[in-house]
Structure formats: C-alpha cells, structure tokens
Chains A and B, each alone.
Chain A
Amino acid sequence: MTNMKRRVFLKGALTAGGAVLAGTLVPRAVLAAWPAKAFDAKSLDAAEKDIFGGTPIAESGKIHFPELPTLAQDARSVPINIATTLPNVTQITLFVAKNPRPMAATYHLSDRVEPKLSMRVKMAKTTDVVAVVKSDGKLYSAKRKVKVTIGGCGG
C-alpha cells in the first residue's frame, strides 16, 4: 500500500465503490446516477425524500462521527468523519441540516470497502450533521450538533 501510486490507488478506490460528492469531478459512469434533485433540495426532509424515496429511517447508535468538533474552527471547512459498525453497508449519505442545500454527499460502497469516510463540508450556521447509512438494505441514521460561532472573547 505504501508503494502504491496515488493514481493507481484512486482508480482502485473508484472500482471498489462509486462516490458522488457535491461539487467535485466525478467519472461519467457515476454522473449517470447523479441524484440532482436531492442535491438541490432546500430542506432536510425534501432531500431525504428525494434520495431515499420515503423509505423509513431508524435511529442507530452504531453510526459514529470520530473527532467531530463541537465548535467549528472554520465553518468554511469542517472536517467530518463517519464510521459505522453496521453490517453490509452499501451507501452512506451526509446531510448538513440547516445548510441552504442540506445534502452534502452520498457514497455507494462495495463490499470490499470499510464503511469509514472522511470529508470536509461548509456549514452555514449551527446545526446537526446527519449521516444515513444503508445496511442490509435498511436505512439508519445518527446526528450530532456542530456549533458555528462568531468567536472572540475567549480567555
């Protein structure tokens, strides 16, 4: 792995699972399945409805946000890690509840990928980040609040 070239590694990753990430370049094959409506939705409810077609979502304690900040250091680039111990994960989707367009990313995972993701997102204001995981064909979610503050005055 350490000797593997970055380009080769990326190719391998894309073969393993197709990633759809808002605002980044994606291979044409994936573009075909681009969930434009969900990404453009203006509310969390509407986005979830568009991407999951109204399938019920159950809360789960098995979805984690390792090292998620409680206060955003820089709201323009908030690091978010998602990890889950749920079995047979095929899709992980991230929403930032009160962003103008809440759906931030959705990832399709093959069975050769460990369900563990890292990304950075822009946050408009204090709100929940919501992860929805598809496991054994069912949907599970977890959320955590990240605070966006004007700062200053500490100390």
Chain B
Amino acid sequence: MNLSRREFLQMLAIAGAAGLPLGSGPADAAVRAAGRGPSDFYELPRFGNVSLLHMTDCHAQLLPVYFREPSINIGVGSMRGHPPHLVGEYFLEYYGVRPGTRRAHAFTYLDFVELARRYGTLGGFAHIATLVKRLRAQRPGALLLDGGDTWQGSATSLWTRGADMAGAQLRLGVDVMTGHWEFTYGAERVMELIKKELGGKVEFLAQNVVTKDWGDPVFKPYTIREINGVPTAVIGQAFPFTPIANPAYMIPNWSFGIDQGRLQKTIDEVRAKKAQVVVLLSHNGMDVDLKLASRVSGLDAILGGHTHDMVPKAIEVKNAGGTTLVINSGSNGKVITVLDLDVRKGGVRDYRFHYLPVYSNLLPADREMQAYIDKVRAPYRSKLGERLAVTEGLLYRRGNFNGTFDQVICDALRKVMDAQIALSPGFRWGTSVLPGQPITVEDVMAQTAITYPVVTRNAFTGARIKAILEDIADNLFNKDPYYQQGGDMVRVGGLHYTMDPTQDIGHRISDMELDGKPIDPKKKYTVAGWANVSQPLKGRAVWDVVNEYLRERKTVRVERPNVPKLKNVRGNPGYAA
C-alpha cells in the first residue's frame, strides 16, 4: 500500500472526525502502512473511580496554534538531566517516543516545521471542548481543573480584560482554577470576573494569597467535591512570586508566597474532613512542585503549570506521608491530561496517567464553542487579521534564551527606539509562525499582550547591565527551586555575552560585547525595553513599535537568534542547540 502524504492526512482526519479508535479497520492499516504510531489517542480504557482532567497555561489561545517546544531548557544542580529539563532526542529517548510521530511533534522541537506541516495545529478551545466532552462521557463525574494563565496571552483577552476567556471556561465546564497572569488585570478586575462572569460555576482557589495587613485569605483555599461517592479535595496554589515577576502595584494589598507551612495545615484540615483524595492545583512551576512534594505530606498529586513543561509521565515523589504524583500539563492548549485514581478503603490505591496532545485535525470543532469563539472575535477580526510582513523562517519564542520572534522584537526596539541594546522579557508564552506565513497583528499580540506594555529607553552603565543579567539568570538557574522565579532568561539585542548556568549569582555572565567591543562597566549605553514592573508608565506600547517595524520591512529573515555562548552545558540533556 502506497499512500501519498495527502491521502494519509485525509485518512487520519476521517478517523479523527468519526471518533474512531485507530486500533482496527482500514484507518489503522493506513497508519501502519505509513509507518506512524496509533493516532487516536483519545479512546482511553477506564480505570479507577475518580478522574481528574487537567489543563494549564493556555494563555488565552482560543484558536489552534503552532507552538515550538524548547531546544534549550537547562537543568542545573540536582535538576540536571531530570524531567522537565530534557529536550529533543534526550526527551524522546527518556520517554520512549518515536521520532517523527504526532507525540514527538507535540512534545519536542525536532523537525518542527516539517512535522507542523504534516500534523497541523494543536489546541484551540473548540477542539479542547470536543475532547473534554469525550473524556467526560468515558469518565462520568470527572472534574476539569484549570491551572491558570488562562485570561492572558492574546489580543482578545487583553481587549476584553479576560472576559472572552471566562466565557470560554464556562462553556468548557471548568470546575476549578487558580491563577498567575490573571492578577495582571488588577485586584478589582480579578474579583469582578470571578464573582460576575464565573458566578460560582468556576471556583477560583488559592491557599497562598492573603491580605498584607492581617494575613486573611483572599480566595477560598480549597473545595471538596464528591466524585462517584469519593470526597475529593482540590487545594489551589497561585503563582507564589506574582508581585515580584509582575507589577505588585496591580495587587497592592495581597501577599503571595509558597507558604509550605500553611499548605500542610490545609492538607491536614481537608484530611480531617474525610477527604479521601487530596490534590494541589498548582501554578508553582515544576521544579518548585517537585521540591514541595518532597516536603509536605498528605497530597496524592500536584497538578502543576507555570513552567509550560511537557512531562508525559507522572513523577512519583517520596515524602514523610507516602508518595505524591507530580505532573505538568504543558501550555497553549496543546495537551489535556487525565489522572485516573483507584480509590478504595479511604485512600488512593493505584493510578493511570494519560498525556493527550490536542490535534485540531483529529478532533472536530465543538459547534457551540466555535460559535462562541467566532462571536467574541467578530468585533476585532479585521484588526487582528492585518498582515504586517511575511516571515521567511520559523518564528518562535520558547527556550531559555532568545527565540527568533524575540529577535524580531529586539531588532524592532533597537531600530525604532534608536537604542544600542534591547532587553525583552523571557516569557514562556508566545506562539510560533511557520516559514512563508504572514505575520499578523494577532501574531504580534500573542507575543506582547500584557497590561504593562510601555516601552522604555534608558542609559545604563555596563555594570548595571551586567547586574540586571546576573539577577535574572539567578531567577532561572538558582540551584534551589524555591529561589527561582520562573520565566526564561531576558532576551537581548545588540549585546553578546557568555553564560555559565552552573555558577552562582555574580559569576554566570562574562565577555559582554557590543559590536565586537567589550562592554565598559563605567560607560553608559542606551537600552530599550518593555514590561517594566516597578510603576505604571505612560508611553508607546511595545506592539506599536513592533508593528511599525514589520510594516516597513515587509519580509522578515532572522539568521540566528542571539543566544549567548554557553559554558558547562555540553552533554546536558536540557541542551540541544
């Protein structure tokens, strides 16, 4: 049997549309003949009596996306070589995933453009909705938990101040959520969306957000739901470093922290209330979750987010009270995960964990959700669709250092702002654009849609620039996860440097150069940037600057992203460049 690629794709699409398990019949033969693995990931054998569905960090991507996973995600100290710090071939080998398959494409950067063209986009709320409905039909009573970073990351979420996403969550049937970027809409708006839009149908939980004055809880810390007769407690854990990583002035009266002690008390409280399953819906980030799981007892699982890590197997962490499963469910709506628990005699006896890539051409759009998405996008459609330029190469962001889209932003900042050096934040969100595709206003907004977008131009000494880089590097590569703040390294334009991630603060950055000349610690340089967290600023938004630059260029070609020269990373399974 000799199938052309187009025929093969058609077969897959038909199989997916019909909801057929690709375990038998002609479609499966086609898959085998084409040398691919089984492609309907979505018919899962039932297991146990309590099921939790988890999604996180969709960053307001209502529509299906391309999103390239990192080729550099270095782990240092005890984190070196362990999930989630595995990229590319290391990842495939560790998890036994065959190269070139749909799973390989969803989970790694390998052959990204070719496989993106073969397999299509991932995510999209209409496709997620279809999958969630199928999973719920297979698993009556299942709860859908949303780890947050849901209301931010797109033009429409910014322009509706999160309302488009709250509406999508309601229609998807999210049961419980926690947050991080949600807080960048300000305390008042957060409360308004929770109370008015979500109206109690989606519970917003956070045990680690309290008032600054008296330490009173701001949100409900936990909920106990009965699933098939089993009392199941979900505790919320918002991003503990929100007022550091994002503007504290947006949430002036709220205090955040990891709050391990209070978490233990909360676990003990829900156990005393006879919860037989206790899970933490966390926005800590994977490294923090792994450490936390070893320190607290009584959690059956931590369903984590923030660091956008693809981790197809649950990690079993031992602690004083037994074992806690730690999972992380990627980003951008690319995966939905399923945790099935067998609960008997008052506790969890066994589990199964499924990591499901949401391929939009295998899951037909849910009609109701699609109609909703079309409706919320309608007022903005023409604006979103403006074609600014065409890209010759792949544009992406994710990775410890500059991605190609960051390079475009840095180039735009330097050019339009007339600065020697550009600094652009190392956010982990930001979708990808394939070679030959137009770059639209919507694409630029998917890299920049924040509530503090104003661009700045400052004169900094070389010493100050080094201090900034050292500080941010320590938030990424500190050997103790409790001192990591999340995000990736700040992106740089103009500046070149050498980085040793294995060193301590003050000793990671060296050989800073501008235009081939060493940076003078005492000399001042003009530095353009955006996303200042210290105070509200008036001025031009970063998307205006990038749009202007792109409109003038018409075509974009990024030769090579400006990644620092790296030391002591050879053989590190988090490094594949």
Are the chains A and B members of one assembly?
A: yes
The chain B residue sitting closest to A152, CB to CB, is B533
**What string of 1s and 0s marks CB contacts (under 8 Å) between B513-539 and chain A?**
000000000000000000111100000
**Chain A CB within 8 A of B244 CB:** yes
Contact status B181-A74, CB under 8 Å: no
The chain A residue sitting closest to B486, CB to CB, is A154
Complex-state Cα separation, A145 to B479, whole angstroms: 13
Selected from B181, B262, B505, the residue in CB contact (under 8 A) with A155 is B181
Complex-state Cα separation, A21 to B256, whole angstroms: 26
**What string of 1s and 0s marks CB contacts (under 8 Å) between B245-268 and chain A?**
110100000011111011000000
**Chain A CB within 8 A of B241 CB:** yes
Selected from A74, A145, A147, A152, the residue in CB contact (under 8 A) with B532 is A152
When A67-B257, A149-B485 are in contact, do A154 and B241 touch as well, CB less than 8 Å? yes
Contact status A73-B429, CB under 8 Å: no
Selected from B243, B261, B531, the residue in CB contact (under 8 A) with A153 is B531
Contact status B486-A73, CB under 8 Å: no
Contact status B258-A70, CB under 8 Å: yes
The chain A residue sitting closest to B257, CB to CB, is A69
Chain A contacts of B533 at CB under 8 A?
151-152
Selected from B248, B262, B485, B505, the residue in CB contact (under 8 A) with A154 is B485
Complex-state Cα separation, A42 to B132, whole angstroms: 62
Complex-state Cα separation, A155 to B447, whole angstroms: 12
When A67-B262, A73-B255 are in contact, do A151 and B244 touch as well, CB less than 8 Å? yes
Contact status B259-A71, CB under 8 Å: no
Complex-state Cα separation, A150 to B239, whole angstroms: 17
Chain B contacts of A27 at CB under 8 A?
none
Within 8 A of B (CB), among A135-153: 145, 147, 149-153
The chain A residue sitting closest to B252, CB to CB, is A74
**Chain A CB within 8 A of B29 CB:** no
**Chain B CB within 8 A of A35 CB:** no
**Chain B CB within 8 A of A66 CB:** yes
The chain A residue sitting closest to B488, CB to CB, is A153
**Chain A CB within 8 A of B475 CB:** yes
Interface centre among B248, B471, B474 (most CB of A within 10 A): B471
> A82: shortest Cβ distance to chain B, in Å?
14
Complex-state Cα separation, A79 to B409, whole angstroms: 39
The chain A residue sitting closest to B481, CB to CB, is A70
The chain A residue sitting closest to B491, CB to CB, is A153
The chain A residue sitting closest to B307, CB to CB, is A155
Contact status A155-B475, CB under 8 Å: no
Contact status B258-A66, CB under 8 Å: no
Chain B contacts of A66 at CB under 8 A?
261
Q: Please tell me the number of chain A residues within 8 Å of chain B, measured between CB atoms.
A: 19
The chain B residue sitting closest to A145, CB to CB, is B483
Contact status B474-A74, CB under 8 Å: no
Chain B contacts of A147 at CB under 8 A?
474, 483
Chain B contacts of A71 at CB under 8 A?
241, 244, 483, 485
Q: Please tell me the number of chain B residues within 8 Å of chain A, measured between CB atoms.
A: 41
**Chain A CB within 8 A of B482 CB:** yes
Chain B contacts of A73 at CB under 8 A?
241, 243-244, 248, 255-257
When A152-B425, A153-B490, A154-B241 are in contact, do A70 and B482 touch as well, CB less than 8 Å? yes
Within 8 A of A (CB), among B438-490: 468, 471-472, 474-475, 480, 482-483, 485-488, 490
Contact status B425-A153, CB under 8 Å: yes
Contact status B468-A67, CB under 8 Å: no
**What string of 1s and 0s marks CB contacts (under 8 Å) between B479-509 and chain A?**
0101101111010000000000000010000
> B446: shortest Cβ distance to chain A, in Å?
14
Complex-state Cα separation, A133 to B427, whole angstroms: 43
Complex-state Cα separation, A130 to B470, whole angstroms: 25
Contact status B474-A149, CB under 8 Å: yes
Contact status A74-B246, CB under 8 Å: no
Contact status B471-A149, CB under 8 Å: yes
When A66-B261, A69-B257, A70-B482 are in contact, do A155 and B244 touch as well, CB less than 8 Å? no
> B553: shortest Cβ distance to chain A, in Å?
26
Contact status A70-B483, CB under 8 Å: yes
Chain A contacts of B306 at CB under 8 A?
155
Chain A contacts of B161 at CB under 8 A?
none
Contact status A155-B248, CB under 8 Å: no
**What string of 1s and 0s marks CB contacts (under 8 Å) between A55-74 and chain B?**
00000000000110111111
Complex-state Cα separation, A134 to B200, whole angstroms: 51
The chain A residue sitting closest to B452, CB to CB, is A152
Chain B contacts of A74 at CB under 8 A?
243, 248
Chain A contacts of B245 at CB under 8 A?
151-155
When A66-B261, A67-B259, A71-B244 are in contact, do A154 and B483 touch as well, CB less than 8 Å? no
> B450: shortest Cβ distance to chain A, in Å?
9
Within 8 A of A (CB), among B191-229: none
**Chain A CB within 8 A of B564 CB:** no
Within 8 A of B (CB), among A4-59: none
Complex-state Cα separation, A70 to B284, whole angstroms: 13
**Chain A CB within 8 A of B123 CB:** no
> A122: shortest Cβ distance to chain B, in Å?
15
Complex-state Cα separation, A145 to B181, whole angstroms: 27
Chain B contacts of A72 at CB under 8 A?
244
Chain A contacts of B244 at CB under 8 A?
71-73, 149, 151, 154
Q: Which 4 A-B pairs have the closest CB atoms?
A: A154-B245, A154-B487, A151-B244, A70-B482
22 A-B residue pairs with Cβ-Cβ distance under 8 Å, sorted by A, are A66-B261, A67-B261, A70-B482, A70-B483, A71-B485, A73-B244, A73-B257, A79-B255, A145-B483, A149-B471, A150-B472, A151-B485, A152-B531, A153-B425, A153-B475, A153-B531, A154-B245, A155-B180, A155-B246, A155-B427, A155-B428, A155-B487
Q: A67-B259, A154-B486, A155-B245 are in contact. List 13 more A-B contacts (CB 8 A).
A: A67-B257, A70-B258, A71-B485, A73-B255, A79-B255, A149-B475, A150-B471, A151-B534, A153-B488, A153-B490, A153-B531, A154-B239, A155-B180
